[in-house]
Structure 1
Amino acid sequence: MRTFGLWGRFASLLALLVASSLSYAATSSTHEYVLPNGLKLIVREDHRAPVVVSQVWYRVGASYESAGHTGLSHVLEHMMFKDTKQLDTGEFSRIMASVGATENAFTSRDATAYYQVLAANRLALSFELEAERMHNLVISDEEFARELQVVMEERRQRVEDRPAGIAYERFLATAHQASPYGNPVIGWQQDLESMQAEDLRRWYQAWYSPNNAIVVVVGDVDAEEVLQLASRYFGPLSARELPVVKPLFEINSPGARRIALELENARLPSLYMGFNVPVLNTASEAWETYALRMLSGVLDGGYSARIESELVRGSEVASSAGAGYSPFSRGDNLFILNGVPNTQKGYNLEDLEAAFWEQIEALKQTPPTQQELARIKAQVISSLVYEKDSISSQAQQIGTLESIGQSWRVADQELDLLSAITPEQVQQVAQKYLTPERLAVATLRPKPATDVATQ
């Protein structure tokens, strides 16, 4: 009965996705353009509400930075809300607020993006302001010095004052030895302290140009009208010669790398295990990345997944634990297992690591069941249905794919490619990639209290 229920849920969700897709297709279509100056424009018409999300993505993030110069992309993101030749500091945000728009920005390892959600008839204003700061940013020494202090305070709050933040930062630095993915997006503290305004001006001139930008628009718009607006505001901007970008591959041998941390303000022990694995950009066979996603779901895909059912509720070796993997990055990524041992039951970090290996070995010996994969596929369908209801989620998906060099069309193939993965393929990627040679481990323990001398 349980098997029938699982497959029944899968079939019901598939029917829901089909119905949702038909409704969505009736009101949406996607168009791709490239302006003469190299700017890429992707417009998805979605006429269900009179709003639009407008995003400008630059193909530059922390993974483009070199030793001694980390944090540049993130600090520049902050400075983009300061002075331009036509706008004073803070004026961009004030104008957006005056028309009822919400706006923000973010920096990742592979991209920096700026976005607004606003009434569809205000799109021209968004383009005008984004074109201004794409080409006419003014980075003064005074504003830079002030904003750099803001970023260093942000780093203190997110990393320095949080044991988990320190541990995860050191874990990534240990796991990524041949690519800049080991550098924090916010930058190393010493690099922030030595950063100069001129460093940022050079970074802006190197990367912020129309031929390194993707403009994504999703909402109640006409694609040809959006193209006309883009040509009007972005078209006159000059392309620049871009720095050469090399592929990012990681070292997979000769053995496991480990780092152990003891921090005074840590409350609980924590374990991080990361296996170096390929992504869509680096995999010799694309199906492996979809099998790795299914493997992640088998281990950590909800209440009935193996980690939750066997390690948290079963043996209770973990008070919390999980797994994660994303194929959407510019270079090789990590398949991560992490958790907190259940110390109240007498378990420690070594016990939790051994339990993770037991789960890995079980999958290497015996492939997952069809029922497990059906459950994961049902979750994927649910996620896709939800994403189609959000214009911001649609734009985020498009921008993420395009910024790493993939096409937005990859998302349209996602369900079919995941559904085609077999239990044996999941077993194969577990055998191939979850090995000690590809492993980095970080442990975090509370530092023991210093003994007080007695007289």
Structure 2
Amino acid sequence: MRGRKWVPALLAALAFAWPLVVPATTAEIESDVVEATLENGLTVLVLEDRRAPVVANMVWYRVGSADEHSGITGISHMLEHMMFRGSEQYEPGEFSRVISRLGGRENAFTGRDYTGYFQVIGRDHWETVMAMEAERMQHLKLQEDEFRPELNVVKEERRLRVEDQPNALLREQMMATAFFNHPYGNPVIGWMSDIEAYTLEDNQAWYDRYYHPNNAVVVVVGDVDAERVIAAAREHFGDIPAGELPVAKPRTETPQQGERRITVEARAELPYLMMGWKAPVLNTVDDPVDAYALLVAAGILDSGEASRFAREIVRGAELAGATSARYSAFSRLDDLFLIAAVPTADTDMDTLEAALLEQVERLQDEPVSASELERVQARVIASEIYQRDSVRSQAFQLGMLETVGVGWRESDRFVERVRAVTAEDVQRVAGEYLVPQRRTVAILDPQPLDGDAPPEPASVQPHGDTAGGM
């Protein structure tokens, strides 16, 4: 991480908190986003937002942990780190020093479906950082003396963010149990045995394979002129030749034959329960109504103090100190509908699990009331309108949608599709997807803490599928 935050708070929230995984939703985006495709295949998206003299510049690559295979898991994240360790024009660390001198902020992130790099900078300097990104897209300089120290950083990052965090460790092992041959079963940061075996040649091969303009999306949001941005993109990226991209093999998950269960023993103060059901996403479902109905179902279960988990399980029966529900429709491949909870001191795990499943079964057995449905729909829409206050979040939403293959225009349809979800839709998808045959249950069995153990988080914050920092 080189002393920086592991991942921006926004990206961490996007990884799990269901109200934040959906795209911005306004007619302004529909009318104001300007899109261009360069001759080399680079996609450029520009959104003018002149409310403040700042600009978010992002470059997204359509490669992440889902593209990796056994033996090199986490290599996308490792390469993300190496992108800051020097190029033909910039010495190691100089990229970051230049941005700091210009008064900007920058970081990077790796997900299952993408790797991204961003800067937030004053309106007078956006073209400078764009040119810098174009330079390292083509001229990254990988060096052994830079690779070895950075490899140690990544190993320590895994220890701190996963192996020393019992909730994260539980989620990682649950994903590996839920998915047999589906790439989301591998952690974004990689398995430690694979990390330890990385070579400089592995990084070079990954860069040569995926870091091409025809596998990238440039997103610029802020106080800019769209025509000028597109002209600058042509100037700085236009001469980079398109690359020959590998043909992705289908990786269809082996059908699940029944409920799967695991118990993870780890040092922790409190036990922890997670359950996940295999569910389709917009890219894989026949009817988008199913994906949006699942998103609303997650909101009915857990979306604030008025949600069912909070009312019935936390405050009512006092079985859990904290709960969470998450579903994202925006990924490349099928994902999981997830719920999680921390039991209170007097609650055993069987009782808590039964209470959570009772609320899931209630979605299947009876239609949600009109007032509750309207409240959840309004909460989703309101949370997305609020996000327009940040140029970075707008850029993230546009880039994420475009990179995973949904397309940024899905943001235009979001409000309409959320409002179109009916009580019958929610009941139907709960009955079709949230069934035992699709379910994986993971239980954290806390072991005694020693003096060096890290403190347990006070609330449910299951780690998502994004690794970041440099």
Please give the TM-score of this superposition, normalised by the length of structure 2.
0.88
C-alpha distance in structure 2 between counterparts of 1:426 and 1:170, whole Å: 29
The gaps in structure 2 that reach 5 residues or longer are 1-24, 451-470
Structure 1 residues 161 and 449: alpha-carbon distance in aligned structure 2, compared to 1, 3 A threshold: closer
Number of the residue aligned with 2:363: 363
Of structures 1 and 2, the one with the larger relative CO (CA 8 A, separation 6+) is: 2
Amino acid across the alignment from 1:339: A
**CA offsets per residue over residues 148-174 of structure 1, 9 Å max, x none?**
000001111111112222111101111
Residue 250 (structure 1) shift: 3.3
Which one of the candidate residues 122, 126, 130 is aligned to 2:125?
Answer: 122
Amino acid across the alignment from 1:314: G
Number of the residue aligned with 1:270: 272
Number of the residue aligned with 1:433: 433
C-alpha distance in structure 2 between counterparts of 1:315 and 1:275, whole Å: 25
C-alpha distance in structure 2 between counterparts of 1:444 and 1:395, whole Å: 37
Residue 252 (structure 1) shift: 4.3
Amino acid across the alignment from 1:274: G
Number of the residue aligned with 1:341: 343
Structure 1 residues 247 and 54: alpha-carbon distance in aligned structure 2, compared to 1, 3 A threshold: farther
Number of the residue aligned with 1:208: 211
Conserved in 2, the CA contact under 8 Å of 1:103 and 1:116?
yes
C-alpha distance in structure 1 between counterparts of 2:255 and 2:240, whole Å: 43
Structure 1 residues 157 and 366: alpha-carbon distance in aligned structure 2, compared to 1, 3 A threshold: same
Which one of the candidate residues 157, 161, 176 is aligned to 1:158?
Answer: 161
What does 1:70-85 correspond to in 2, within 5 Å?
A: 70-85=73-88
Which one has the largest radius of gyration? 1
**CA offsets per residue over residues 311-336 of structure 1, 9 Å max, x none?**
01111111211111001111001000
Conserved in 2, the CA contact under 8 Å of 1:29 and 1:46?
no
Number of the residue aligned with 1:322: 324
Conserved in 1, the CA contact under 8 Å of 2:26 and 2:411?
no
Conserved in 1, the CA contact under 8 Å of 2:268 and 2:449?
no
Number of the residue aligned with 1:14: none
Residue 81 (structure 1) shift: 0.5
C-alpha distance in structure 2 between counterparts of 1:375 and 1:301, whole Å: 10
C-alpha distance in structure 2 between counterparts of 1:213 and 1:143, whole Å: 25
C-alpha distance in structure 1 between counterparts of 2:389 and 2:141, whole Å: 38
Corresponding position: 1:372 with 2:375: no
Which one of the candidate residues 236, 241, 253 is aligned to 2:239?
Answer: 236
Number of the residue aligned with 2:224: 221
Q: Which moved more, 1:404-413 or 1:242-251?
A: 242-251
Secondary structure of 2:242 counterpart: coil
Residue 447 (structure 1) shift: 3.0
**CA offsets per residue over residues 10-66 of structure 1, 9 Å max, x none?**
xxxxxxxxxx968x679x711110000000001111122222110000000111100
Number of the residue aligned with 2:287: 285
Aligned residue-pair number: 426
Number of the residue aligned with 1:63: 66
Structure 1 residues 246 and 397: alpha-carbon distance in aligned structure 2, compared to 1, 3 A threshold: farther
Number of the residue aligned with 2:397: 397
C-alpha distance in structure 2 between counterparts of 1:88 and 1:243, whole Å: 30
Number of the residue aligned with 2:466: none
Structure 1 residues 60 and 262: alpha-carbon distance in aligned structure 2, compared to 1, 3 A threshold: same
Residue 226 (structure 1) shift: 0.7
Which one of the candidate residues 26, 31, 36 is aligned to 2:34?
Answer: 31
Residue 291 (structure 1) shift: 0.1
Conserved in 2, the CA contact under 8 Å of 1:249 and 1:331?
no
Superposition CA RMSD, Å: 1.7
Amino acid across the alignment from 2:188: V
Conserved in 2, the CA contact under 8 Å of 1:247 and 1:330?
no
Secondary structure of 1:44 counterpart: strand
Number of the residue aligned with 1:445: 445
Number of the residue aligned with 1:422: 422
Please give the TM-score of this superposition, normalised by the length of structure 1.
0.91
**Percent identity (aligned):** 48
Number of the residue aligned with 1:132: 135
Structure 1 residues 247 and 122: alpha-carbon distance in aligned structure 2, compared to 1, 3 A threshold: farther
